[in-house]
């Protein structure tokens, strides 16, 4: 039996140790040696004998599927079964298999499930005779279950991400938190109704569905988000605060007795996936007793990649450095074959959260030092830029885990490799050269895109710290340049404006220098937007300009004028949008509206760039 971590009292906030543990430093040294030792190892895709296989669904095993089909067929022979009116069934199938409209069909990367409206799907399901799960064809039943249990309602909203939580005011964050909790509760009620219907029809739930229900029933946001929300509530006495408190109280307590009751439902020897779910819930609820019990049930050989991700990230957020060190040592000593780029990214993030940025940066530097020639088109998925990349990667890493002998592989950095270091530099107001160096690692070394999330962090640094106008101009120029590049129309709009003499002469000359001889990116652009001019990003740009240039009264007035023009243009566009009937399907007018919004924002950014140029 594995020895559980120390039962020292859980910290409510971050610990701030004054020095790095010699043991932790040695562990990171061994991990760096492991990374560098794989310089000549192949990337994951190049391993001989690696055969990723497509599975129809990851929510039901073949054995479970067979039992469910037999139960489903048995129900359809009972007196309870009714013939469904064609109009009702057609309404349900229309929501389950929505027809592609012509505009979305242009996007060949879009998968059908993205068009499903889960609220409308559930509403049409409720129109079926009770229990609805038994009154549809089996293949439709499995697709329905897949859709409902894979719905992303429990992902945190953008405003509560690790980046955006720094950018918005208290009232807005509480509003987002309340709305997210309401959305989750509505979805959870849907899932419980569906599973109750399955009980009525005698159809068993899968292990994954039971784990999913337990996770969502006792869901709690990440520890840093909960601490942020709690600190806001302590400072405020608004209506939003009251509602947020009620939202927190809606989540059932996961005390030790509740944990024991839930764990019994999975038998005496639950599998690793079940233990991982219980482990995550226990850590999110800061239930140290449950944590100790769960870890006592884990045999070392049963540790999975997810086990380490859950442990390392959450122990770091709880400030439990000694426990973090114990499990990182176990990982490096006994389970290095589990070390893929996603787990390494978790280690980097956790070290930063434990206030060990130098150790985290050493891992990133080791990884970047191994980058050789550009990846081939077949290998580009290793950068995990798009959703499809992550899906392909999951197939390959699953195939790797099935190998009896697991050879060493070389890792390739992703966006999440660099984000923790960049965020740290931006938060402490590090010299701009360090921020620029991270961008250089992203673009020049790993040939990956600088993303909207990175730009938000950087512009926010200009709001909270003092940087030069030249630095601000450089970042804004890069944002404008990469927005066009990542939209697949690099420089087209800017060049048209230059050729039509629509921009001031100094600005035209400056932009011409910025976009002369562009390099080919090391990723496929296509229709994927890595830099979007979201309202949140544009807001940070204006705040950065107010802080950096606002001390000059004349420049301050110019910035305010550009901001007023943008707000008026956006309000006018929104009014036109609100005045028309909005349909579920995308129409051509929707694309025109998006283009108009992007045009207005880009125009305002170019005006800010002009203001920043020396007179």
End-to-end CA distance of the chain: 72
Quickly state the pLDDT bin for 175 (edges 50, 70, 90).
confident
* Highest mean pLDDT: which range of 91-105, 318-332, 372-386: 318-332
Residues 497-518: pLDDT tens digits? 444 444 455 555 555 555 554 4
Q: 71 and 204 in contact (C-beta within 8 Å)? A: yes
Among 16-25, 66-75, 431-440, 605-614, name the one with the lowest average pLDDT: 16-25
Compute CA distances 266 → 202, 212, 275, whole Å.
19, 13, 9
pLDDT at 563 over 80: yes
pLDDT at 567 over 50: yes
Q: 341 and 382 in contact (C-beta within 8 Å)? A: yes
Instruction: Give the pair of three-digit tokens for residue 305.
Output: 């990649």
Nearest Cα to 132, choosing from 205, 82, 60? 82
Of 446 and 55, the structure prediction assigns the larger pLDDT to 446
- Segment 338-357 mean pLDDT: 97
Query: Which helix (H) or strand (E) covers residue 305, if one does?
Result: helix 305-317
Of 51 and 58, the structure prediction assigns the larger pLDDT to 51
pLDDT of residue 502: 46
pLDDT of residue 113: 44
Among 12-16, 83-87, 105-109, 153-157, name the one with the lowest average pLDDT: 12-16
Quickly state the pLDDT bin for 582 (edges 50, 70, 90).
low
pLDDT of residue 47: 87
Instruction: Give the pair of three-digit tokens for residue 557.
Output: 């007035």
- Segment 174-196 mean pLDDT: 90
Residues 6+ apart with CB under 8 A from 493: 484, 599, 602
pLDDT at 61 over 90: no
pLDDT at 580 over 80: no
pLDDT of residue 155: 73
- Segment 229-239 mean pLDDT: 76
Q: Could you say which DSSP state residue 527 is in?
A: T
Distance of CA 174 to the CA centre of its chain: 20
Interatomic CA distance for residues 168 and 435, integer angstroms = 22
Residue environment code for 270-303, b if the CB has 16+ CB neighbours within 10 A, otherwise e:
bebebbbbbbbbbbbbbbbebbebbbebbeeeeb
Interatomic CA distance for residues 125 and 148, integer angstroms = 11
Omega of the bond leading into 131 within 30 degrees of 0 (cis): yes
**DSSP string over 239-263:** HHHHHHHHHHHHSPP--HHHHHHHH
CA 251-257-259 angle, to 5 degrees, is 60
pLDDT of residue 303: 93
Nearest Cα to 107, choosing from 521, 584, 484, 529? 529
pLDDT at 364 over 80: yes
CA 358-385-464 angle, to 5 degrees, is 50
Instruction: Give the pair of three-digit tokens for residue 407.
Output: 């050879």
- Segment 322-327 mean pLDDT: 94
pLDDT at 468 over 70: yes
Nearest Cα to 75, choosing from 161, 135, 149? 135
Nearest Cα to 101, choosing from 589, 527, 583, 585? 585
- Segment 372-391 mean pLDDT: 87
Residues 122-131: pLDDT tens digits? 999 999 999 9
Helices (H), 429-468: 432-440, 452-464
Q: Helix, strand, or coil here: 566?
A: helix
Among 140-144, 338-342, 515-519, name the one with the lowest average pLDDT: 515-519
Of 233 and 339, the structure prediction assigns the larger pLDDT to 339
Residues 525-534: pLDDT tens digits? 554 467 888 8
Instruction: Give the pair of three-digit tokens for residue 404.
Output: 């009896």
Interatomic CA distance for residues 434 and 391, integer angstroms = 33
pLDDT of residue 108: 41
Among 18-32, 191-205, 338-352, 450-464, name the one with the lowest average pLDDT: 18-32
CA 154-380-346 angle, to 5 degrees, is 45
Which residue in this structure is represented by tokens 């830029």?
385
pLDDT at 7 over 50: no
Quickly state the pLDDT bin for 107 (edges 50, 70, 90).
very low
Interatomic CA distance for residues 350 and 9, integer angstroms = 20
Residues 6+ apart with CB under 8 A from 257: none
């Amino acid at each position: 039996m594995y020895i559980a971590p120390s039962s020292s009292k859980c910290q409510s906030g971050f610990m701030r140790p004054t020095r790095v543990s010699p043991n932790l430093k040695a562990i990171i040294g061994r991990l760096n040696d492991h990374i560098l030792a794989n310089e000549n190892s192949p990337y994951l895709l190049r391993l001989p004998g690696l055969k990723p296989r497509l599975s129809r669904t990851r929510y039901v095993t073949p054995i479970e599927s067979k039992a469910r089909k037999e139960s489903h067929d048995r129900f359809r022979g009972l007196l309870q079964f009714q013939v469904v009116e064609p109009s009702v069934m057609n309404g349900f199938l229309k929501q389950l298999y929505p027809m592609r409209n012509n505009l979305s069909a242009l996007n060949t990367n879009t998968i059908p499930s993205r068009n499903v409206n889960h609220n409308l799907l559930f509403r049409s399901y409720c129109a079926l005779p009770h229990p609805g799960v038994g009154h549809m064809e089996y293949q439709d039943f499995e697709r329905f279950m897949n859709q409902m249990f894979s719905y992303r309602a429990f992902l945190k909203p953008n405003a509560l991400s690790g980046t955006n939580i720094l950018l918005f005011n208290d009232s807005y964050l509480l509003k987002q938190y309340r709305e997210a909790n309401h959305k989750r509760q509505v979805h959870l009620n849907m899932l419980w109704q569906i599973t109750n219907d399955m009980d009525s029809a005698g159809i068993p739930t899968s292990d994954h569905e039971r784990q999913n229900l337990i996770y969502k029933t006792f869901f709690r946001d990440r520890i840093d988000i909960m601490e942020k929300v709690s600190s806001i509530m302590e400072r405020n006495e608004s209506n939003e605060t009251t509602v947020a408190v009620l939202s927190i109280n809606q989540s059932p307590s996961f005390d030790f007795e509740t944990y024991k009751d839930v764990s019994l439902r999975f038998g005496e020897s639950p599998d690793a996936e079940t233990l991982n779910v219980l482990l995550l819930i226990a850590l999110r609820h800061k239930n140290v007793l449950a944590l100790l019990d769960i870890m006592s049930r884990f045999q070392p050989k049963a540790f999975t990649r997810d086990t380490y991700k859950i442990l390392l990230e959450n122990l770091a957020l709880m400030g439990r450095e000694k426990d973090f060190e114990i499990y990182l040592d176990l990982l490096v000593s006994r389970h290095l074959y589990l070390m893929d780029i996603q787990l390494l990214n978790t280690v980097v993030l956790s070290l930063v959260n434990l206030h060990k940025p130098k150790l985290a940066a050493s891992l990133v530097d080791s990884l970047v030092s191994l980058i050789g020639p550009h990846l081939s088109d077949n290998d580009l998925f290793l950068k995990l830029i798009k959703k499809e990349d992550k899906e392909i990667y999951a197939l390959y890493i699953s195939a790797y885990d099935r190998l009896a002998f697991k050879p060493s592989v070389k890792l390739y950095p992703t966006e999440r490799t660099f984000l923790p270091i960049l965020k740290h530099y931006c938060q402490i107001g590090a010299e701009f050269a360090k921020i620029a160096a991270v961008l250089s690692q992203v673009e020049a070394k790993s040939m990956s895109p600088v993303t909207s999330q990175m730009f938000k962090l950087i512009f926010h640094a200009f709001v909270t710290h003092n940087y030069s106008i030249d630095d601000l101009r450089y970042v804004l120029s890069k944002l404008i340049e990469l927005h066009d590049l990542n939209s697949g129309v690099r420089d087209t709009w800017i060049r048209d404006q230059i050729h039509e003499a629509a921009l001031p002469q100094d600005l035209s000359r400056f932009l011409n220098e910025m976009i002369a001889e562009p390099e080919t990116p090391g990723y496929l652009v296509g229709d994927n937007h890595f830099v979007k001019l979201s309202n949140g990003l544009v807001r940070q740009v204006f705040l950065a300009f107010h802080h950096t240039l606002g001390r000059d009264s004349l420049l301050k007035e110019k910035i305010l004028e550009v901001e007023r023009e943008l707000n008026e243009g956006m309000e006018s566009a929104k009014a036109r949008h609100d005045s028309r009937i909005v349909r579920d399907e995308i129409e051509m007018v929707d694309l025109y509206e998006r283009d108009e919004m992007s045009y207005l924002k880009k125009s305002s950014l170019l005006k800010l760039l002009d203001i920043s140029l020396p007179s």
